[in-house]
Amino acid sequence: MSEYERYVVKRPLSAAGCAGAQGLDATRRTYLCEELVPGVGHCLEMTWVHPDDQPGRLAVERIHDFDQAILCIGMDWHRPQELGATVEFYLGRQCVVFNTTTLVYIPRGTPYGPLTWREFERPYLELSLVFGSGEAGPGRMTGPACAGEVLAGAPELAAAAPPPCGPDFEQYVIRSPLREAGPTYVEGRQNPTMTYLSRVQIPQVNNYLEFGWIWDVPRPPIPKMRHDDFDEIVVHIGSDPERPGALGGVLEFGIGDELLELDATHCAFIPRLLDHGPLAWREVTRPHIEMAIMIGAGTLEEGWRNSFFDAPDGARRGPK
């Protein structure tokens, strides 16, 4: 493995998720953690959620000692904000319901779960991020069920749930994105992209997450950049639930002084001050997602200030 290739995870750790759970892929894929990238200090996992004949219920309440975000992503690139399912999720013991691509931000110490799928139309992707801890794990369980226990159609659990334990937790649920990142138009990709986490949306947040779909070779490619103050996580996600490791294209990704060729779903950790880019696609065979997560920056301007090297005079510029 080369000097900079160690920052790119193409082969995730796979672990049994909720075996036998209705609607859940049995495999939880960890694309970022201390074991994969020593010193990273964060954790990123993905799980495909599949349709089932009957809605299921994940009967577990958990608490993390670190801030967390769960992003449920609809995987139809023609309709990127449609989830393809209706989800009932308990946050702070308050029930929230959504049927769009949605991010749920979970402040440290906040109970979350159980979860019910009311309706299914098509598979969607669940991406989980833990900020400030590189240890993969489910958190402390506080509910009546043990890890992995699933009950199908169990309304008695909702009736027996304790009352909400804090403020209106709807403030932590982002059902509709900001459209601010990137230029107005780039051939072959969604622009502006969709911002689902920022300080603008949730005032206490100091991380930024945006993503967009790529359906053809983007022109122009993404230029070389460097972030002086913040670490970045870049994720490229294939859209085939039957082949989750396949990206659906071939990407040349510059990191440091190396040019890496990638054709698999992957996660890249970019430490601050490390040059990266350009990002240029050689081919696109199936639509896929490009996601950027800026750690410690709550706004687009903070995260990408003076990052890009493509100004006409060779100087660096901020986001367009």
Look at residues 2, 4, 7 and name the one whose alpha carbon lies nearest to residue 39: 7
State CA 99 to chain mean position distance. 17
* Same domain for 12 and 132: yes
The answer to whether 79 touches 134, Cβ cutoff 8 Å, is: no
Structure tokens at 150: 């699933």
* Same domain for 130 and 20: yes
* Same domain for 225 and 196: yes
| pLDDT more than 70, % of the chain | 84
pLDDT at 161 > cutoff 60: no
Q: What is the pLDDT at residue 54?
A: 47
Structure tokens at 142: 């506080």
pLDDT at 76 > cutoff 70: yes
Angle at 46 between CA 283 and CA 197, to 5 degrees: 90
* Same domain for 274 and 164: no
pLDDT at 190 > cutoff 90: yes
Determine which helix (DSSP H) or strand (DSSP E) holds 276, and give its type and residue range. Answer: strand 276-284
* Same domain for 201 and 119: no
Backbone angles phi, psi at 291, to 5 degrees: -125, 140
Task: Give the pLDDT band of residue 107 (cuts 50, 70, 90).
Answer: very high
pLDDT at 217 > cutoff 60: yes
- 18-32, 50-64, 254-268: range with highest mean pLDDT: 254-268
Q: What is the pLDDT at residue 165?
A: 66
pTM for the model: 0.89
Decide if 176 is inside a domain: no
* Same domain for 205 and 132: no
19 vs 264 pLDDT, higher one = 264
What is the average pLDDT across 73-77?
98
Q: What is the pLDDT at residue 55?
A: 54
Q: What is the pLDDT at residue 10?
A: 97
pLDDT tens readout for residues 118-160: 888 999 999 999 999 998 666 665 654 333 333 333 344 444 4
pLDDT at 95 > cutoff 80: yes
Q: What is the pLDDT at residue 186?
A: 92
* Same domain for 213 and 95: no
The answer to whether 89 touches 55, Cβ cutoff 8 Å, is: no
Tokens 């000692």 belong to which residue?
Answer: 65
* Same domain for 192 and 53: no
In angstroms, the CA 314 to CA 91 distance is 48
Which range marks the domain in which residue 44 is found? 5-140+154-171
| pLDDT more than 90, % of the chain | 73
* Same domain for 191 and 166: no
pLDDT at 300 > cutoff 70: yes
Residue 165, sorted as left (phi over 0), alpha (psi -120 to 50) or beta, turns out to be alpha
Q: Structurally, how many domains does the chain consist of?
A: 2
In angstroms, the CA 117 to CA 93 distance is 17
* Same domain for 166 and 58: yes
* Same domain for 214 and 96: no
- Give 3-state DSSP helix, strand, coil % of the chain, rounded to 5: 5, 45, 50
Decide if 182 is inside a domain: no
By mean pLDDT, which of 12-21, 128-137, 151-160, 266-275 is the weakest?
Answer: 151-160
Half-sphere exposure of 136 (CA within 13 A, CB side): 21
87 vs 50 pLDDT, higher one = 87
Q: Domain of 52: which CATH number?
A: 2.60.120.10
